[in-house]
Structure 1
Amino acid sequence: MAGLTSDIEKFLKALLEESTDGMLEIGRNDLAMQFDCAPSQINYVLSTRFTPHNGYLIESKRGGNGFIKIITIVEEDDYISYLIKNLNEQMTEASADILFMDLYKKKYFTRDEFLMAKYATSDKALSMIDAKSRNYLRSDIIKNILLSVLARS
């Protein structure tokens, strides 16, 4: 299985290198058929080899017309990369608000994006999560917001 996993990874990375925009969209079932494996094997490769930590974002849609979009994160922006690598494991609502205001002032966010991030990570929005876990979840959400900023640059 390790050989198949590596073969799928190499294949996808070769396609990414050939792309002009660092983005690849491919059918999950088509890829599974090409490698004569289950779609879950493709999911395994994506979840272990194409992670944000490894420099990739994954978008996918399941179902008959399901697809996988792999986006290479270009770390042109040292500030956002620094924030991602050094983001606290826990973030309070106040800390998140300060970070979002800074990103807005530095023009990484539009006003609407600033407000959306602020409200989406507020204690009110996360009220269904127990108080002990809320700051961990908020930090994860913020990390994904920052990754999306990198992906669009």
Structure 2
Amino acid sequence: MSSISDIIERYLIKILNEAPSEVVQVKRSELADLFQCVPSQINYVISTRFTVEKGYIVESKRGGGGYIRIRKVRFPSPKAYYDVLLRLIGSKISQTSAEDLVARLADEGLMTPREARMVKKMISREVLDLPIALRDSVRARMMRTVVTMLFASKGE
């Protein structure tokens, strides 16, 4: 059975995919009414499921005329996308952020589902049994290598 968060996420992705400009603007209170939940549930879904690592930009304005605007990020060239991914990874990356990035790469067809499962396992805290600061640094180096290899193979 799907959780309310899963249902809200699927709804938002569906309307985003149907929007010609891949931008959707919604009101938190209207979504809460539609799904019969509290507005904080909407906040939770937006903040955890529509992240930069997953390929979204979220703008929010609170108050009576407030809104949430979600935009699917597109890049003008593979080089621009590659540069942004390397900046996102940085010198340290958490397991959650790295997994979100791997899911995004798989969703966009840059990596197979099998490759995504392998990379997720390799970057897990179970495999990288190191102190946190070191683990996040090693994970970032691994992710930069994966991204570099994915983009290098696109040029072949």
Please state which band the TM-score falls in when normalised by the shorter chain.
0.5 to 0.7
Distance 2:25 2:62 in 1: 13
> Which structure 1 residue ranges, 5 or more long, are not aligned?
91-153
Deviation beyond 2 Å, 4+ runs, structure 1? 87-90
Paired residues for 1:40-119 under 5 Å:
40-87=40-87, 88-89=90-91
Distance in 1 between residues matched to 2:21 and 2:43, nearest whole Å: 23
Supply the distance in 1 between the matched residues of 2:70 and 2:28 (Cα, whole angstroms).
12
Contact 1:5 1:45 in 2 (8 A): yes
Tell me the equivalent position of 1:31. 31
* Superposition deviation, residue 2 in structure 1: 6.0
Distance in 2 separating the partners of 1:37 and 1:76: 38
Q: 1:2 and 1:89 mapped to 2: Cα distance?
A: 36
- Say which SS state the counterpart of residue 65 (structure 1) adopts: coil
Provide the rounded CA distance (Å) in 2 between the counterparts of 1:43 and 1:77: 32
Residues 2 and 61 (structure 1), Cα distance of their counterparts in 2 relative to 1, 3 Å cut? farther
RMSD of Structure 2 on Structure 1 (CA)? 1.8
TM-score by length of 1: 0.54
TM-score (norm 2): 0.53
Q: Name the % identity.
A: 39
Q: Note if contact 1:29-1:66 (Cα within 8 Å) is conserved in structure 2.
A: no
